[in-house]
Homo-oligomer: A and B are copies of this chain.
Amino acid sequence: MNNFSVHILGSSAAVPSLERSCSGQLVTCNNRNILIDCGEGTQLQLRKFNLSIQRINTILISHLHGDHFFGLFGLLGTMSLLGRTSGIDIYGPPELQNILEVIFNASQTRLDFPFTFHAIVGEEKQLLFEDAGLRIFAFPLRHRIKTYGFQVEEKFQRFPLDKRKLELHEVSNEHRKLLAEGCDFQRMDGSWLRYEEFTLPQPDARCYAYCSDTMPFKALTKYLEGTTTLYHEATFLKDRKKRANETFHSTAEDAGLQALNAGVKQLLIGHYSSRYTSILELEEEAKQVFPNATAVKDGDFFGIL
């Protein structure tokens, strides 16, 4: 089983508190460490939860409301001051590149590591990145300004082996490794070992989706296809549905319905308005619609189902 998890760094909407930092999550999948959003204070949240800032190699910024990216400048600065040399890829709205340039020019800061900015544009779901261990997609959300959600989907680098069959044919450990990697090969006696005969089908790939900030909209269910664990914003309770609509946000019930429609296994909700000092009611409301729902707290850690 690949490692695939999410650490919640911040669960607050626009106004942070001492208990809830602004949006930020660290997703680890097949040893790639992806920071999704980076509100003010994210670098300290990473420190607080003992997560290495230097191992982050990909940053995804959903949109340019401050609570989702005001921590990016300080994080990059600290990475550089602490001696980072390895590169980083940042994906976000096109204007972010100009903002980074203006800010780092003004401070005459030169980051001592290479970073590549990739502008996210377009109105459709798109593949942002792929390597041997994962795929990252972006898809449009519906918010006051241009906003994207993200999907991180694991890829399998090895096939599960059919141990019974391997023992029957006395396949060596070395050869088992080749078969697991999907290689066919010939033995000394001239016989062929085909990986398809000695391996089991791949399990279904797990897929984590991040949807913050958005109001509900129909196409989202299609974008979420394949998602197994969904993080969905739940800024308000349903008694404030009108306010949610006005601000292009969702209620906890909306998040539950989206999880249901997308057929996921697990729902995480967050991005709570500062009016809610307790999040119990938000969780209850989501559970009414989708029982395996959890209202996340800063510092929470979840394995992706």
Interface residues of A (CB under 8 A from B): 14-18, 22, 40-41, 43-44, 47-48, 64-67, 70-71, 73-74, 77-78, 81-82, 93, 95-96, 98-99, 102-103, 106-109, 144-145
Contacts and interface: CB of A to CB of B under 8 A. Distances in A.
A282 B245 CA distance: 54
A230 to B, nearest CB: 26
A73 B40 CA distance: 9
A102 B98 contact: yes
B41 A109 contact: no
Copies of this chain, count: 2
Among the interface residues A65, A71, A107, A108, which one has the most CB atoms of the partner chain B within 10 A? A107
A43 B44 contact: no
A270 B38 CA distance: 28
B106 A99 contact: yes
B40 A18 contact: no
Contacts of A82: 15
A43 to B, nearest CB: 7
B15 A48 contact: no
Contacts of A109: 65-66
A136 to B, nearest CB: 23
A159 to B, nearest CB: 44
Nearest to A72: B70
A122 B81 CA distance: 30
Contacts of A77: 14, 66-67
Closest 4 CB pairs of A and B: A40-B74, A95-B106, A64-B106, A64-B107
Nearest to A22: B74
Given A96-B106, A106-B99, A144-B108, A43 B16 contact: yes
A73 B74 contact: no
Contacts of A16: 43-44, 74, 78
Contacts of A108: 144-145
A93 B108 CA distance: 13
Contact of A41 (B15, B40, B144): B40
Contacts of A17: 44, 47
A24 B45 CA distance: 19
A78 B22 CA distance: 12
A82 B144 CA distance: 19
A145 B107 CA distance: 7
A70 B72 CA distance: 10
Contacts of A47: 17-18
Nearest to A144: B108
A64 B109 CA distance: 10
Nearest to A145: B108
A114 to B, nearest CB: 19
A44 to B, nearest CB: 6
Contacts of A81: 14-15
A50 to B, nearest CB: 11
